[in-house]
Structure 1
């Protein structure tokens, strides 16, 4: 049960490769799909569930294999976050940035296409901020967590944050 069935180096390499591949794929999918969680939060949850799943159900050869994978995945997460904090070029590769959806009442159709958002979805989010007309928006951003933040042209600020968009 506790005997290591797979070579430790193979487990570490598998964990690192899967983590980096999923991080890249999730970044390509776009911010909108993340909902209220950050992209790396979703990635970690998926990977940890998969890594420990076999150890919990007995499908895996060893609990130790799962422990090595979990440790590798969590270490990758810490290393990526630390590198992104210290190296701005690495942060650009691994961390999502807010995207401008509306500037001075004008929709950014390029961002809408990239995130597969319709104008009606944007209008729905604006209504949650108490805004009926896109022209009333000074600036609106699609945030890295998938929510839309709005800076109204009239200067009013909504007190309660809206719920994240569902996609």
Structure 2
């Protein structure tokens, strides 16, 4: 048994490179569409079940993409195809507004003028305790203080406070009424 592997065997193709590119492309788009329209939360707010789902999807998709490849060259073509699609999607979404609107979900309003929009919260599986925790990280402890809270495309929640009426400065009024 030789100590060094036969490089010719590692770099040969058992599966056509075109087939690997086609398989990689089809699986990239199938996974992209599924994750784009089903999972909204990005890695910044991803939970353990979401990570588990991604790992299982990757494992399940491997055989569909690879078709039983055995060599480094085939693995490289498949990985290069996936990286290429990812780069192309990033470039196209940066360059073209229509592509960006397709790639990134629009912000979703969860609270408007202190009122929960339960339908939108249910759609994204955001619970009231999760939302309130996010509001507290923004220094807000009452829904009435929220003008608008949105779930952003990255899964984070952004908050805009209600404008408070300008309080009259009582100390200034007292100073004006004091005799000089």
Is contact 1:35–1:147 with CA below 8 Å preserved after alignment? no
Using the alignment, how far apart are the partners of 2:44 and 2:154 within structure 1? 5
Aligned residue runs from structure 1 range 88-103, under 5 A: 88-103=97-112
Deviation at 1:84, TM superposition (A): 2.1
Q: Distance in 2 between matches of 1:99 and 1:113?
A: 12
| C-alpha displacement of 1:37 | 7.2
CA contact (8 A) 1:30 1:114 kept: no
User: Corresponding residue for 1:24?
Assistant: 33
- Count, aligned residues: 141
Q: TM-score, normalised by structure 1?
A: 0.73
Aligned to 1:61: 70
Give the match for residue 127 of structure 1.
Answer: 136
**Structure 1 runs (4+) greater than 6 angstroms displaced:** none
2:108 aligned with 1:75, yes or no? no
Quote the RMSD (CA, aligned, Å). 2.6
Per-residue deviation, residues 90-118 of structure 1 (Å, max 9, x unmatched): 22222222222112212222220110112
The normalised TM-score by structure 2 is: 0.68
Distance across 1 between alignment mates of 2:16 and 2:44 = 37
Q: 1:21 to 1:3 in 2, by over 3 A?
A: same
Secondary structure of the 2:87 match is helix
Tell me: higher relative CO, structure 1 or 2? Use CA pairs within 8 A at least 6 residues apart.
Answer: 1
Q: Distance in 1 between matches of 2:94 and 2:148?
A: 27
Q: 2:162 and 2:100 mapped to 1: Cα distance?
A: 31
